[in-house]
Amino acid sequence: MVEEWRLLDTGVHDAFYNMALDEAMATARSKNLVPNTVRFFRWGPSAVSIGHFQSMEEEVDTAACDEGGVDYVRRITGGGAVYHDLEGELTYSMVINEDHRLVSQDIQKTYQTLCSALILGLDSLGIPAEFKPINDILVKGKKISGNAQTRRMGVVHQHGTILLEVDPALMFSLLKVPSEKIRDKLIKAVEERVTSINSCLGRRVGFEELKGALKEGFEKAFGIRLVPGQPIDFENSLAAKLRVEKYATRDWNFRR
Amino acid sequence: MGKATYKVKGGKLIKIQLRERADKIQEIKITGDFFLHPEELIEELEEALVGKPLKEQDLAESIRRLMQERGATLLGASPEDLAKCILMAGGEGG
């Protein structure tokens, strides 16, 4: 009997709800209320997320975000600032019990194991990708996916981004740059170091096709079957609470 | 307020903001895109560094000891990297 995990496709939500539901899923998993879970989601409005230890004021041009209707939120996980474009990016998350065979005490090793699902998924689209420590997935040396993991309450919670389309100039219009003089240089560096699914394949890949490929990648890499499901009431109500009381608050987002 | 940024080779970016008095840390904020598990330890680490002399090896040792005591893991930066960046911020005039 092949191991079954839950698959959630929660569609488009705002940044605060997206991060709140991720935390609610991890909590639900820790209480054994739900099975191990993979979730796909998108961000609408588009948003910038920053790592747990980053300073919102130093990393994000919040005035530019406000003007452009772009949300900004602090993640529960470490790592760097990410621009989540409504049309150009898919995010996944997963919650797995820490005692699962896929999880090692070694966090670096676990990144590699969990990222192998994305690599197989990209492979099935015809994109040869590889893992690059600490937490990146590259195609021919260019980054296509960044990932971040946390562990709490006996649960490994990893989320990450898969780029369908990339627009470095737009990204840097929302992030703080050390000086205007080097803005063009930074944009150029990202153009050279970051790629996307559409640019790898030379065609537009839709979200459904991408999710289908990734689902297959997760199933093959992990030796599991993903069964489509819904968030449970516990997750929905905890997410609604965390959205208002944590992720949408200035206190959380500007705490560092 | 002293400030420094240090990119760890093959690792992440560390940013330190520091206030010092008589070569000791009076106030410190550690930010960056590194990973620390558990995340909440960052505040405890900052508090533990207050009052410590700005000596690179001693700071690295203090950070390493706190990590060990708490069973914590740093990824993308080492205690030595953090200490180095703290000294850079301290040397910046504080």
Is residue A202 predicted with pLDDT exceeding 80? yes
Q: A54, B31: Cβ pair inside 8 Å?
A: yes
What CATH number corresponds to the domain at position A64? 3.30.930.10
Q: Do B36 and A80 touch (CB under 8 A)?
A: no
Nearest beta carbon to residue B35 from set A79, A152, A256 = A79
Give the position of tokens 């000891």.
B65
Which residues lie across from A7 on neighbouring strands? A38, A228
Measured distance CA(A92)–CA(A215) in Å, rounded: 10
- Are A54 and B36 in contact (CB < 8 Å)? no
Number of folded domains in chain A?
Answer: 1
Torsion of CA B60, B45, A74, A110, to 10 degrees: 60
B35-66 in b/e burial notation, b at 16+ Cβ within 10 A? bbbebebbeebeebbeebebbeeebbebbbeb
Confidence of residue A180 (pLDDT cuts 50, 70, 90): confident
**Nearest chain B residue (CA) to A136:** B11
Q: What angle do CA A213, A17, A119 make, to 5 degrees?
A: 20
Report the amino acid identity of residue B21. Answer: R
Contact status of B50 with chain A (Cβ, < 8 Å): no
CATH class of B2-91: alpha beta
Question: What is the domain extent for residue A43?
Answer: 3-253
The string of pLDDT tens digits covering residues A153-163 is: 999 999 999 99
Residue pLDDT, tens place only, A17-60: 999 999 999 999 999 999 999 999 999 999 999 999 999 999 99
State whether residue A90 is helix, strand or coil. Answer: strand
How sure is the predictor about B94, in pLDDT bands with cuts at 50, 70 and 90?
very low
Q: How many interchain CB pairs under 8 A, A with B?
A: 58
- Please give the pLDDT value at position B92: 65
Query: Distance from B79 to chain A by nearest Cα, in Å?
Result: 16
Confidence of residue A98 (pLDDT cuts 50, 70, 90): very high
**Residue A241 pLDDT more than 60?**
yes
Picking from B11, B30, B37, the nearest residue to A151 by CB comes out as: B37
Walk across the sheet containing B13-21 and list its strands. B2-7, B13-21, B24-32
